Structure 1
């Protein structure tokens, strides 16, 4: 298959010549190895028993191979991280090592953070701009520099976005026939429950309870429902529920495997905003996985079926669409060296789906709407935030499912998701 260029390739183009070691991290199946292989001269795939044994016996092997050296699934031999770090101390020449990993550092490993030696880049499933190359007409980077042209036309409508959600952003899954893709998503979830956590040294006493919790978490997609509410949804008829400590362990380790990918609550620095909620917004690695866990297909989503934790009047398809938007926006923001959060006041008076913040603390507020048109009530919270933040808020955006990208008379940019890119 032809390689599909990723947004992260742009970051690697910029960083690799001057950085000795880069770790590409993300969930299994997002495409880390395929991207790294295109740049490597030597490869150590540590899921290969022979290479695993060779590196375990001789960590110095990484310094004798022709660079860039790709160490794939490095977490399977945790000491290699510190060996690479020391190699960078000895010779900081750019482009020496690429490490790929589908788990954060194992909790049992006492490793140096690598700060200053190994740069970490997060790879997520395919963003919309990666799924539809050359379709984007509005640049996130230019929005963040207040220089964006907001125009373009999209041919996608709500049913197209529903199908795109279900196709998945995993490169190896999305082009399969429908039934095969559903089977692969089922297998992905089963492997998480039955193998991935155990392979990471986590004892799961009740796989059924973990599966139920993961399904409840999926139903909470794009909400900031409390973890106790998620637990109650996972065990509605059970008096003997898993303890909070057990559920916290689930969450911690699933995050370490990049399976859960929550958006943190945004708290501004040097700003007057107070009484902001601190609960993260819940997202799985891919909204297709969330839809499969909950058990909803295209027809059910379009009919508005599905229990969810979003506000009254919203739909589970709307929650999944927001998750798809979030996945894409986080990918684009990373390239622009920006961070992403969400905002909600404690009393729920104001809520903004996504905040992108530049290193200079200027921000963009984004609302997500599963509909083709935008009316005044859709931008009320954006105008509230603009009044609070003043010049620090450099743009206001609504991402929707419409046909055209344009600016409203009040300055709010309306951008169909298919037209937004890095």
Structure 2
């Protein structure tokens, strides 16, 4: 639908008789269908006309259309699938010696060695999981993420809802979001952070919320929801989302950080590494019918991620870049396990610390230590 040679005629056909664009061999792919949202309803109607035969159409798009753009949800005819950037296993930077699925199935024989160095992790974060970047020369690969961010700032975020947005403010918002990556920063926190910078500080909380909604709709941001288990005690569970981009390279691109600069700031490197692991866990969990959350309660106890399968199995996973924090992370995981009311919920399938270290092993207390460079779905 965005072919410059044909888009005008395609849009005219969609406006006058959308069924014309659905003719031809199947499966028929309609790319950037949201440019002509009527195609959604046309596909739904055509599927009904053909007796519900599956696999006839594939609708792909880089943005979510406006809420009132389609008249039918597509329920029963159209299934939705979130396409994510490539995981480290897909980009061949994880050897996949340890399977998340096998851990949920009770495998406790951890044997793995990661060849992904800290320098390699820094490069993977700044390059991102964009397919066009994989295999390119380093400088070109890193530039892809920068180009993507510039397109977001100058065009994409305004095009999604037709509301013009100030590029300077969008850049300031993205930079603030990057500074608050892997945290539960509120809208007010982001507002105050922007106000402390050199940019226009008149960005209201309402405007920030509107901008963030637009970024959600073009799949730039993807927050991690809070997990709400049944606890033995009456400890209050925090429900704030944890801030993440769909890929950590968006953060490094908007901040203009290189792999070498990450190695000079290990504290921020740790937040980016957590975001990288969250991205990969989402890819792996969804392929085995699961979802990813985070946990935090009023006592300060937290788990960076919690993978929950739709059959009720669950596993808390702490993310630690280096080996020095492993002991503390294990204590947190064991404390969380003790807090959950296992009379009303299952026992956790396993407890895991996901790291940037070399070796995978099972600790004497039963906690798994797994390098991200060994993990797959």
Q: TM-score if structure 1 supplies the norm length? A: 0.81
- State the 1:239 CA deviation: 8.2
> 75-84 or 295-304: which moved more?
295-304
Partners of 2:234 and 2:350 lie apart in 1 by 18
Structure 2 distance, partners of 1:336, 1:170, is: 22
Instruction: Tell me which of 291, 300, 321 is aligned to 2:252.
Output: 291
Summarize the alignment of residues 6-405 of structure 1 with structure 2, pairs less than 5 Å apart.
48-49=6-7, 50-90=9-49, 91-132=51-92, 135-147=95-107, 149-236=109-196, 240-268=201-229, 274-304=235-265, 315-347=267-299, 349-372=300-323, 375-389=326-340, 390=342, 391-405=346-360
SS at match of 1:315: helix
Deviation of 1:115 (Å): 2.2
Provide TM-score, normalisation by structure 2: 0.90
Q: Secondary structure at the match of 1:67?
A: coil
1:11 maps to none
Counterpart-to-counterpart distance in 2, 1:189 and 1:61: 36
Q: Is this contact kept in 2: 1:72–1:101, CA < 8 A?
A: yes
8 Å CA contact 2:111, 2:360 repeated in 1: yes
Partner of 1:408: 363
Matched residue count: 369
8 Å Cα contact 2:361-2:368 kept in structure 1: yes
What's the Cα RMSD here? 2.3
Query: Relative to 1, partners in 2 of residues 1:239 and 1:153: Cα closer, same or farther, differing over 3 Å?
Result: closer
Partner Cα separation in structure 2 for residue 272 and residue 165 of structure 1? 39
Change (3 A) 1:236 1:204: farther
Cα pair 1:46 1:76 within 8 Å, conserved: no
Unpaired stretches in structure 1, ≥5 consecutive residues: 1-43, 305-313
Query: Once the 2 structures are TM-superposed, how far is the Cα of residue 117 of structure 1 from its aligned partner?
Result: 1.7
Does structure 1 retain, via aligned residues, the 8 Å contact 2:98–2:374?
yes
Gaps of 5+ in 2: none
